[in-house]
Amino acid sequence: MADGAGVRRTWRTAAAGLCLLLVPPLSGCGGRTAADPATAEVQRVLDRRSAALLGHDETAYGTTGTRTEYVRLRALPLASWTYRVTALHRGGPGTTAEAELRYRIAGYDRAPVSVHRTLTLSRTADGRWYVSADEPARKAGEQLWDQGTVTAVQGAHSLVLGTGRSAGDLRAYARLADRAVPVVSRAWGTDWTRRIVVLVPRTLEGMAALLGSPASSYRGIAAVTTGEAGGAGRTPADRVVVNPEAYAMLGSVGKQVVLTHEATHVATRAHTDAATPLWLSEGYADWIGYLGTGRTPTEAAPELARAVRDGHVPSALPADADFGFSSEPTHLAQAYEGGWLACRMIAGHWGDARLGAFYRAVGAHAQRAGAVEEALKKVLGSTPGAFTAEWRAYVRDQLT
């Protein structure tokens, strides 16, 4: 598919805060507590398993159980990897352990990512515990290594991890991500990690499994930025998760815009919260994404331009509900385009620095109520009514 007009419905992106909050049980089946000798034994096995993985000792890893995860994980640059057994279920056909896995990618994660796993256990002939399977806990999203052997490509500002992809394929993502990071830093500032992790699964279904949602939710969405898929905590780590099928349909400019958009979400994460409307967070990411591309408003906002030419100028800024992935594609595209034009208008009328200050001011508010109103007054000297009227006039002027 060509770049520019006509691609928006194919590659719309969004920032999603996907957080799985699971309270670990205090005891396993039959009232077993953490003092249960079997639980302590399993914990020691998992401790040895973690040490062997971090120490790149495949033989030692193999003494604790299956080597499948070691083979799949050995390319991942890990700074830490630990399990905490939260429950042990014994009886029936076998034994399973529920565990919290905490891991950190070296050079990228500010704090450990926490995910919940279910481990299948058996006993060897001499009575030692042996891990025969390590899988996502019920209702938890998959991790990339659950889908196959991970290939890693290190860029100047990026780490690209993929399954079912050659290193050459992943290097193309790294080049675009490396270009994106400095663009974002010039516009937003340098108060962020200035490094991004990109996950490239084999298929759309693989992307959806990482995010713990149906594939239909992401069809036509080229990428999603989220706090670690399946992870807990507000922002221990961000991952840009690619839909390889939608991404492949883009031209070179479209692919660059997507990764720059996603890098913007990583950069602004600490200043984005429940007070931030999606028209601002998505519009700002698109505004930086399009910088330097030379795309005109009618090229970058084809669906909204079509509506304006038909006499349908939106009466209000897009609501959060308009950005739902399940929305009708044209309506979804118009929401993104409207947010982008709002941010473009602020940059054009008040300057790039004021746009960034406005974003930060909205995110600094304790709650949604009053956040935009206060930031409009304080940073732009405007009101919601005046701003909306100016935006409507701007949309009409730019798209006709």
Region 148-161 average pLDDT: 98
Query: Cα–Cα distance between 261 and 224 in angstroms, integer?
Result: 10
Q: What is the pLDDT of residue 328?
A: 82
Q: What is the pLDDT of residue 30?
A: 37
Q: List the strands of the sheet with 113-123, edge to edge.
A: 78-89, 95-105, 113-123, 129-136
Confidence band of 217 (pLDDT split at 50, 70, 90): confident
Confidence band of 92 (pLDDT split at 50, 70, 90): low
Beta strands, E only, the chain:
12-16, 78-89, 95-105, 113-123, 129-136, 150-154, 158-163, 196-200, 221-227, 238-242
Confidence band of 57 (pLDDT split at 50, 70, 90): very high
Confidence band of 278 (pLDDT split at 50, 70, 90): very high
Whether residue 198 is predicted with pLDDT greater than 90 in this model: the reply is yes
388: phi then psi, degrees, rounded to nearest 5: -65, -40
- Range from 60-74, 138-152, 321-335, 374-388 carrying the lowest mean pLDDT: 321-335
SS (H, E, C) 45-99: HHHHHHHHHHCCCHHHHHCCECCHHHHHHCCCCEEEEEEEEEEEECCCCCEEEEE
Whether residue 1 is predicted with pLDDT greater than 60 in this model: the reply is no
Region 133-143 average pLDDT: 95
Q: What is the pLDDT of residue 309?
A: 96
As given in the structure block, the two tokens for residue 293 are: 């591309």
Region 296-320 average pLDDT: 97
Q: What is the pLDDT of residue 232?
A: 38
Q: Which of the two residues, 348 and 33, has the higher pLDDT score?
A: 348
- Is the four-CA dihedral 226, 232, 233, 238 of positive or negative sign? negative
CA dihedral 164, 168, 173, 174 (to 10 degrees): 120
Whether residue 42 is predicted with pLDDT greater than 80 in this model: the reply is yes
As given in the structure block, the two tokens for residue 146 are: 């659950």
Which residues, 6 or more positions from 105, have their beta carbon under 8 angstroms from its beta carbon? 76, 77, 78, 79, 159, 197, 237
As given in the structure block, the two tokens for residue 311 are: 């006499």
Q: What is the pLDDT of residue 237?
A: 72
Which residues, 6 or more positions from 248, have their beta carbon under 8 angstroms from its beta carbon? none
Region 177-187 average pLDDT: 98
DSSP letter (8 states) at residue 308: H
User: Which domains occur in the chain, in start order?
Assistant: 1-19+141-269 (3.30.2010.30), 29-140 (3.10.450.50), 272-400 (no CATH)
Region 302-319 average pLDDT: 97
Region 278-291 average pLDDT: 98
- pLDDT, tens digit, 9 for 90 and up, residues 323-344: 987 668 899 999 999 999 999 9
Region 262-290 average pLDDT: 97
Residue among 22, 21, 19, 139 at smallest CA distance from 86: 22
Q: What is the pLDDT of residue 220?
A: 87
- Is the four-CA dihedral 285, 289, 294, 300 of positive or negative sign? negative
Measured from the Cβ of residue 32, the count of other Cβ atoms closer than 10 Å reads 16
Query: Cα–Cα distance between 148 and 125 in angstroms, integer?
Result: 30
In the predicted model, what is the mean pLDDT of the chain?
A: 89
- Whole-prediction pTM: 0.88
Residue among 242, 178, 191 at smallest CA distance from 359: 191
- Range from 107-116, 246-255, 306-315 carrying the lowest mean pLDDT: 107-116
Query: Cα–Cα distance between 157 and 174 in angstroms, integer?
Result: 8
Q: Which of the two residues, 205 and 110, has the higher pLDDT score?
A: 205
- Range from 23-37, 163-177, 200-214 carrying the lowest mean pLDDT: 23-37
Bridge partners, residue 227, by sequence: 238
How many CA atoms does the CB half-sphere of 175 hold within 13 Å?
9
Q: What is the pLDDT of residue 26?
A: 31
Region 222-242 average pLDDT: 70
Q: What is the pLDDT of residue 320?
A: 95
